[in-house]
Amino acid sequence: MEPEEAAAAQAKGDLLRNFERILHDDPLIDEVGFLHPTQFHSLLVDSANKSAFQYFWCTDHKLAISSDILPELYRAARRAHSDTALNRPSSSPSASAAALIMMHSKALLILCPDLLTAWNSRKMVLSTNFNLSHLKDELRLCALILSYSPKNESTWSHRRWVIKRLAQRLQDMPELIDKESLLVKNIAEKSKMNYRAWRHRCWLIPYMKIKQVLDELNKSKKWTELHVADNCCFHYRRSLLLALLDGAANGKVSLTCQSEAHLMWKEELTWNDTLIRRYQGRESLWNHRRFLSQWWVQHLLSCEETSPSSESLADLFLSQEIHLLSDCLGAPGDEFGETRVQVELAALYILWISKQDAAVKGKVEERLQSVGSLKEVLARACPEKSRLWTHLLHC
């Protein structure tokens, strides 16, 4: 090897060793930033606590890396990981080899979290024996990567693998679930409509007790009110409500909890009605109402079959939905066109309800007389789609 090449290789090795030394000395690093060299220089000049390394700055568990060394640092980390992990195919590496694999793969994944090979090498080491401390460190690494790459699917998948391992031994899962739910909430604040984060939160629901499901419904309500255009949070609430129903159907909850589940469903409908009237033209709100109405109407119809009464609760509910449509049709126009979108969404919602059941369709058409036939309502909502409405009405 030429002297120049040897010097370059030595410099790359020093970069990686310095980087890994920082990660080892401060295992509580919770934020990483990749800064342009000029920004990084300003950080060093303004900082009283300067890093001992030229291209790295770390203080108060915050790490900054100068972007001009990233290509060299990545190549060095990948080469080191390959030399330790890929050249040792044994399923049970020695303690020293395992330590090297974990050290090099951590550095590599912080630089490029999409490398499944690096994640799998960590799984191989962690699978050899159960170590609670190492698994908690793994959750901390995932949280660090998600702080700057919140939609990275590989990281979310690895985090679920770790939680599965913990669930096999831990008895106190509610505390872990609360921390995970808070993590997703914080990430969702910074990364809008992050369905990967919300899917992770939905994945946690089977690990929840019924009381925790109810608490999650209450805690997520305020956040959802502030993000009515984000369908992810409504999907999470739907998953929680279905978990309550499954618990009631399988006899996992008491009769009191079953009544509470039905009461919460009714309250969810009322709350959704309030949001629809407050925020016009939000499709996510109407999609949520479809989900709520589909089960609620069938529930009311089944109650009527088992306990007939003079007043039909299903009729009363459908009358309320027609009243909501009427209010949308009569709302004054606005310069942004939100009223028109609201009317179309309301008309489509009533059309959707009428398609759910033959008996429901007759009830809907009967109560629509106050605002006109369904065809007339659809034509008023969006006249340029009259051919589409005609087709849908005859489907």
- Domain ranges, ordered by start, for the chain: 8-170, 173-279, 293-304+312-395
Predicted confidence band of residue 275 (pLDDT cuts 50, 70, 90): very high
Name the pTM for this structure. Answer: 0.87
Over residues 64-78, the mean pLDDT reads 94
CB 170 within 8 A of CB 161: no
Instruction: Tokens for 395, please give them.
Output: 């489907």
Q: What are the CA-CA distances from residue 119 to residues 240, 285, 296, 393 (Å)?
A: 30, 38, 44, 52
Predicted confidence at residue 393, as pLDDT, reads 74
Q: Which of 97-111, 168-182, 319-333, 380-394 has the lowest mean pLDDT?
A: 380-394
Q: Which letter does DSSP use for residue 383 in this model?
A: G
Over residues 210-230, the mean pLDDT reads 92
pLDDT cut 70: percent of the chain above it: 88
pLDDT at 2 over 70: no
Predicted confidence band of residue 95 (pLDDT cuts 50, 70, 90): confident
Q: What is the mean pLDDT of the chain?
A: 86
| pLDDT greater at residue 93 or residue 83 | 83
Predicted confidence band of residue 63 (pLDDT cuts 50, 70, 90): very high
Name the β-bridge partners of 58.
63
pLDDT at 140 over 60: yes
Predicted confidence band of residue 89 (pLDDT cuts 50, 70, 90): low
Which amino acid does the sequence have at 297? V
Predicted confidence band of residue 66 (pLDDT cuts 50, 70, 90): very high
pLDDT at 246 over 90: no
Element (H, E) at 175: helix 173-190
Longest CA–CA separation in the chain, Å: 96
pLDDT at 90 over 60: no
The Cα–Cα gap between 114 and 104 comes to 15
Angle at 361 between CA 338 and CA 302, to 5 degrees: 110
pLDDT at 207 over 80: yes
From the number of C-beta atoms within 10 Å of its C-beta (0-12, 13-18, 19+), residue 369 rates as: exposed
Predicted confidence at residue 52, as pLDDT, reads 45
Of 262, 239, 240, 242, the closest CA to residue 250 belongs to 242
Range among 51-65, 81-95, 267-281 with highest mean pLDDT value: 267-281
Over residues 347-352, the mean pLDDT reads 88
| pLDDT tens-digit map of 188-204 | 988 888 999 999 999 99
Predicted confidence band of residue 256 (pLDDT cuts 50, 70, 90): low
pLDDT cut 90: percent of the chain above it: 51
pLDDT at 145 over 80: yes
Predicted confidence at residue 372, as pLDDT, reads 73
Over residues 70-91, the mean pLDDT reads 84
The Cα–Cα gap between 179 and 176 comes to 5
